[in-house]
Chain A
Amino acid sequence: EIVLTQSPATLSLSPGDRATLSCRGSPRVSNYLAWYQKRPGQAPRLLIYDTSNRATGVPDRFSGSGSGTYFTLTISSLEPEDFAVYYCQQRSSWPFTFGPGTKVDLK
């Protein structure tokens, strides 16, 4: 089973700040790495798939990069609605697994 770890656990930032979230996979993950946003009381939302592809309707302030075992989600300038929990998820091998999440909260 591929284990995903995310860092930091919490990121305290202000609107307009740049956010960089990390996800590491062990063993190695191919490029089948996705990012989801989860706001309280709302359904998860697909942001990025296959490392760097934005899902339909996702603003271009969200971007993904990485390869192998290290991946990042970058939010170039935080909007008020971006304060949420972000999960990475791999589909390179069974079972599909999620990371524990990074909470982006208001500083």
Chain B
Amino acid sequence: EVRLVESGGDLVQPGGSLRLSCAASGFIFRSSAMAWVRQAPGKGLEWVSSISSSGDIRYYADSVKGRFTISRDSSKNTLYLQMTSLRAEDTALYYCAKEGPGLVATVLGLWDYWGQGTLVTVSS
């Protein structure tokens, strides 16, 4: 069974930093591209960032480019999102998602499994 469990969300002040983690199990993590998608309170879904299976190809939404960094550690089956210079508009539930269907090494922008999310609140 595919399982994605996010952690690391917290209350942080504007300008602060946070690192989110996503522990993956139930599939061959090193063979799958991954992504982060967020949902602000009362709003819709917004794609944030994607990374290829090898980690050498990364994409970012303009709204986070230069502030967020996506990475992965296949020895730990874990996806990360390092967030810096956080703003109030970054407040959201952050979901980790697996590219699919099946095992997809490249970034295609289609996600067949999602975690339950971790909440990031940026406020003073």
Contacts and interface: CB of A to CB of B under 8 A. Distances in A.
Contact of B46 (A34, A49, A55, A98): A98
Contact of B108 (A56, A91, A97, A98): A91
Given A91-B109, A97-B47, A55 B101 contact: yes
A45 B46 CA distance: 15
Contacts of B112: 46, 55-56
Interface stretch (B7-15, B23-31, B75-83, B114-122): B114-122
A96 B60 CA distance: 10
Interface residues of A, number: 23
A95 B59 CA distance: 9
B88 interface: no
Interface residues of B, number: 22
Given A49-B101, A56-B101, A87 B44 contact: yes
Contacts of A45: 114
Contacts of B97: 44
B62 A43 contact: no
Interface string B57-83: 001011000000000000000000000
A43 B111 CA distance: 12
Nearest to A44: B114
B67 to A, nearest CB: 15
A32 B95 CA distance: 21
Nearest to A97: B47
Contacts of A55: 100-101, 112
A89 B61 contact: no
Given A44-B111, A49-B110, A89-B109, 11 more contacts: A32-B109, A38-B45, A43-B114, A43-B117, A44-B45, A46-B112, A49-B101, A55-B100, A87-B44, A95-B47, A101-B45
